[in-house]
Amino acid sequence: MASMVLYNVGFLCLLMLVHKGGAYEFVVGGQKGWSVPSDPNYNPYNPWAERSRFQIGDSLVFNYQSGQDSVLQVKSEDYANCNTNSPIVKYSDGHTVVKFNQSGAHYFISGKRENCLKNEKITVIVLADRSGRSNTTTTSPPPSPSSPSPSPTGQQTQSPPPSASTPTPSPASDHTPSHNAASPLFLSFAGSVAALVASATLSLNL
């Protein structure tokens, strides 16, 4: 009996660890899939994308009928104008899985311009990877001004005080990287081991 309890608890702990470090797949449109919205004057995809949290390593899944529709990854200006003539990538297999390898804005539209004009399009903002590392770089502070030449009297003029303003960080990510990316996983593992020992002790007492 005790060995069965230990086995079950250990299996659950393993599942928790795998889930914590894994990436996610987001299905666009849910059961309806990638299609023209029922109300062509309203885009339901963007509010859904704003509520979701996309990070590097996650994937976007588009389900649609191959031959009847497609997915284009495009630039921002082509997204705004529903320009289907110069996509970055075109997908038409009916089950498109797009994995995010970099942070920033990603734009997708239907391969049929009339569908895009009816709001079959989506903007996705990818923040950073789940380990806390970000592909974005922060702005470096400007170099300090050179010291002024000495005055004719031989006394050196004072340098102007440093500016109180600090450079603004890059807006591409609001995710603050952790000092140790492995620490959340270690804490989760430690908690799992503690739960395992407690369950084993309880089973032996029973």
Chunked mean pLDDT (size 10), the chain, 206 residues: 49 43 88 95 96 96 97 98 97 97 97 98 88 45 46 46 43 35 40 48 48
pLDDT at res. 9: 42
Residues 42 and 76 in one domain: yes
What residue numbers bound the domain in which 86 lies? 24-129
Q: Which pairs from 179-185 meet CB under 8 Å and 24+ separation?
A: 181/131, 181/132, 181/133, 184/20, 185/17, 185/20, 185/21
Q: Compute the distance between CA of residue 92 and CA of residue 97 in angstroms, rounded to an integer.
A: 11
Look at residue 4 and tell me if it is in a domain: yes
Residues 88 and 33 in one domain: yes
User: CA torsion 65→71→52→132, rounded to 10°?
Assistant: 130
Other Cβ atoms closer than 10 A to 79: 20
Buried b (16+ CB within 10 A) or exposed e, 106-142: bbbbbbbeebbebbbbbbbbbbbbbbbebeeeeeeee
Residues 15 and 29 in one domain: no
Q: Compute the distance between CA of residue 187 and CA of residue 151 in angstroms, rounded to an integer.
A: 62
Look at residue 139 and tell me if it is in a domain: no
Look at residue 154 and tell me if it is in a domain: no
pLDDT at res. 149: 46
pLDDT at res. 121: 98
Tell how far CA 162 is from the center of its chain.
Answer: 37
Residues 1 and 81 in one domain: no
pTM of the model: 0.56
Report the domain count for the chain: 2
pLDDT at res. 26: 97
Look at residue 175 and tell me if it is in a domain: no
Tokens of 41: 């004057």
Look at residue 31 and tell me if it is in a domain: yes
Residues 16 and 80 in one domain: no
Look at residue 95 and tell me if it is in a domain: yes
Look at residue 30 and tell me if it is in a domain: yes
Other Cβ atoms closer than 10 A to 32: 13
Look at residue 182 and tell me if it is in a domain: no
The residues, any chain, with a CB within 8 Å of residue 63's CB and separated by 6 or more, are: 27, 28, 29, 33, 34, 94, 95
Residues 31 and 123 in one domain: yes
Residues 120 and 198 in one domain: no
Residues 11 and 29 in one domain: no
**What CATH number is given to the structural domain containing 72?**
2.60.40.420
